[in-house]
Amino acid sequence: MYKLGINFDEISDDLDIALGIMKQNNVTYGELRTINQKNFVFWTDEEVDYFAKRVFDAKVEIVAAASPLFKWFIDVDSPAVVHDSFGFNPRLSDEEKEQTITRAIEVAARLSIPRIRIFSGLGVTAGAGKQFANDPLLAKALELADQNNIDLYIENEPVCRVNKKRDLIDLLKYNNNPRLKLWLDIANMVELDEIIDEEFIAEIAPRLGYIHVKDFTLRGGKKKYVPVGEGIIDYSTILTNLISKAANDIVLTVETHATEHKQESSTRAIIGTRNLLREQGVIV
């Protein structure tokens, strides 16, 4: 069966409000990114312990840490890329990058979080999949993750180097570390006009373990995020194809990217996503 969760800050920056909405909607799996607009990689140990107690009392299991790891510029003089940073400075020295990796894994281990989302560097690089597969810093991150029994999940982020099917396939082909897995964002694929077809699914299925769902409409050429099921993405068909070929223990979390009425949007997105998964028979 699949696990259905949601990112806390997609509901609210206030943890109490987020937990309240999750309880109302019978969601017991949470994804961590920021609380009170503070990225978890900057939390003190005391803040980590406080968060751990709050989610434990609320009977919520943290299934993943949506970290900012590798959502940084490869070189300090790289051209600027407009992106969501969630309070994280993308222009870091090599030493600062290693420190951030270490701290993210420390916090995840302290909270018994088994998965950390990573990216592949801001910008565009030819042959990005193969190149990132052999990145020495990725190797260090995977080694440290393994020491803490944590898996690293690469997300296909449009503003990052590995974002299309070919590069994702190459990354997983040229780096066969079992700790490196795929965090598939379906809407990001659709945004880039990448078709999630049977051939692609067959290639990624062995390493696919996490799915992000969000939806959007296009009006006058402008994208507007809406709750899952209210936009243009044909989730029924995509999920049917994914579920038929991928593992049956995948985690699926909801994003809304709502800028207003976040609690209402999150509730509608949870309901829409749960209905989709029930239709597929992978959730009760």
Q: What digits encode the pLDDT tens for the residues 138-195?
A: 999 999 999 999 999 999 999 999 999 999 999 999 999 999 999 999 999 999 999 9
> Is there a domain that residue 253 lies in?
no
* 116 within a domain of the structure (yes/no): yes
Where helices occur in 25-110 by DSSP H, the ranges are 45-57, 94-110
* pLDDT at residue 82, rounded to an integer: 65
Question: What total of structural domains would you count in the chain?
Answer: 1
HSE-CB for 153 with a 13 A CA cutoff: 27
In a domain, 134, yes or no: yes
Mean of pLDDT values over 256-282: 94
Residue 214 lies in a domain: no
pTM of this structure: 0.96
CA distance 6 to 1: 17
Q: Is the pLDDT of residue 5 over 70?
A: yes
Kindly report, residue by residue over 51-61, the tens digit of the pLDDT.
Answer: 999 999 999 99
State the Cα torsion 180-186-191-197 to the nearest 10°.
90
Calpha distance 145→137 (Å, rounded)? 12
Q: In whole numbers, what is the pLDDT of the chain averaged over residues?
A: 94
Mean pLDDT, rounded, for 199-206: 94
Q: Which of 253, 179, 279 is nearest to 10 (CA)?
A: 253
Instruction: Confirm whether 233 is domain-assigned.
Output: no
Q: Is residue 174 part of a domain?
A: yes
The rounded distance, in Å, linking the Cα atoms of 248 and 261 is 33
CATH code for the domain of 114: 3.20.20.150
Q: Please answer whether residues 98 and 70 qualify as being in contact, where contact means their C-beta atoms are separated by less than 8 angstroms.
A: no
Answer whether residue 190 is part of any domain: yes
Which range marks the domain in which residue 35 is found? 3-206
Please report whether residue 88 resides in a domain: yes
**Separation CA 268–CA 161 (nearest Å):** 32
Residue 33: C-alpha distances to residues 54, 64, 108 (Å): 15, 9, 11
- Tell me which residue of 202, 204, 227, 223 sits closest to 214, measured CA to CA: 227
- State the pLDDT at residue 62: 98
Mean pLDDT of 93-101: 95
Q: Residue 65: pLDDT above 90?
A: yes
What Rg value do the Cα atoms of the chain yield, rounded? 18
Q: In the structure, what pLDDT confidence band is assigned to residue 87 with cuts at 50, 70 and 90?
A: confident
H or E element that contains 148: none
For the stretch 7-56, pLDDT in tens is: 999 999 999 999 999 999 999 999 999 999 999 999 999 999 999 999 99
